[in-house]
Amino acid sequence: MTSRLQTFLRSSIGKKLLMALTGLSLIGFLVVHLAGNLTLFVDSDGSAMAAYAQKLADLGPLLWIAEAGLLLLFVVHIGLGMRAAMENRDARPSRYKDAAPKGGRSAASVTMIATGVVIGIFVVIHVIDFRLMKGLLAHPDPATLAKVVVARLSTPLGASIYFIAMIALGVHLWHAFQSALQTLGLRHPAYDACIRKTGAGLAVVVAGLFAAFPVLCLIYKGNWPWS
């Protein structure tokens, strides 16, 4: 039985399936992460975000398990992507003079590796910055947590890094959702348009809302006019 799974996972289709499943799981994580982040905008004194952070911190060991799972998702997804990219380069040793698309590709579909690399670099910076160095979750102090986040995102450098990464995320997601479903074999003329629109909508909403953080922080410096 083990060899059956090994054979599957070593095949090009098996690896793609794993790529799709880890990708969809990461989309799920993004949505939850986004929902948590939005607590920043609930009030100007940061107590909503602190309460959310406290809940996460209260999970104790469960949080570590979740984070370990998350790390595994990233490692598998990125590892498979890099490996596929290398295999694909080997599959065409000599290039065409000028390959001209005939209408199949999109800007998003042919830049998955590039946008993936940008997102990957951002994730490393982001985790070091917000998770490891500041230890925000360890001390969810209402007085400082939201302020630290706003301070980070309202510097031109911090905001630019965040904003550019979120654009890359949006482009990545534009292709990702429908591609994952295609890999899972979930395709039918009756649902094609719906799947494409869902993927595009997901990309715009998720990346758009994430990108709104640095923009709003730059403009309002944490004093939201609506709260």
Quick one: which segment of 45-53, 121-129, 152-160, 187-195 binds other proteins (CB under 8 A)?
187-195
For 21-84, the three-class secondary structure string (H helix, E strand, C coil) is HHHHHHHHHHHHHHHHHHHHHCCCCCHHHHHHHHHHHHCCHHHHHHHHHHHHHHHHHHHHHHHH
Q: Is 124 in the site for other proteins (CB under 8 A)?
A: no
| Site membership for other proteins, residue 197 (CB under 8 A) | no
Please tell me whether residue 6 binds other proteins under the rule CB under 8 A. Answer: no
> What is the contact mask toward other proteins in residues 132 to 171, using x (rule: CB under 8 A)?
----------------------------------------
Of 91, 88, 114, the C-alpha closest to 15 is 88
Q: Which two tokens stand for residue 199?
A: 């993927």
Distance between CA atoms of 10 and 18, rounded to whole angstroms? 10
- For residues 214 and 116, give the distance between their C-alpha atoms in angstroms, rounded to a whole number: 21
Which of 124, 184 has the CB closer to other proteins? 184
Q: What residue type is 16 in one-letter code?
A: K
Contact, 140 vs 63, CB < 8 A?
no
Q: Which of residues 89-118 bind other proteins (CB under 8 A)?
A: 90-106, 109-110, 112
- Shortest Å, Cβ 100 to other proteins: 4
Q: How far is the CB of 67 from other proteins (least distance, A)?
A: 29
Using CB under 8 A as the binding rule, whether residue 7 contacts other proteins is answered as yes
Query: Does residue 16 touch other proteins according to CB under 8 A?
Result: yes
Binding residue for other proteins, selected from 182, 196, 209, 220, defined by CB under 8 A: 182
Distance, C-alpha 87 to centroid of its chain: 24
CB 164 to other proteins: min, Å: 23
Q: How far is the CB of 201 from other proteins (least distance, A)?
A: 18
Question: How is residue 103 written in tokens?
Answer: 């209408």
CB of 81 to other proteins, least distance (A): 10
Q: Which residues of 176-186 are buried (b: 16+ CB within 10 A; e: fewer)?
A: bbbbbbebeee
What is the contact surface with other proteins in residues (CB under 8 A)? 4, 7-8, 11-17, 84, 87-88, 90-106, 109-110, 112, 175, 178-179, 182-189
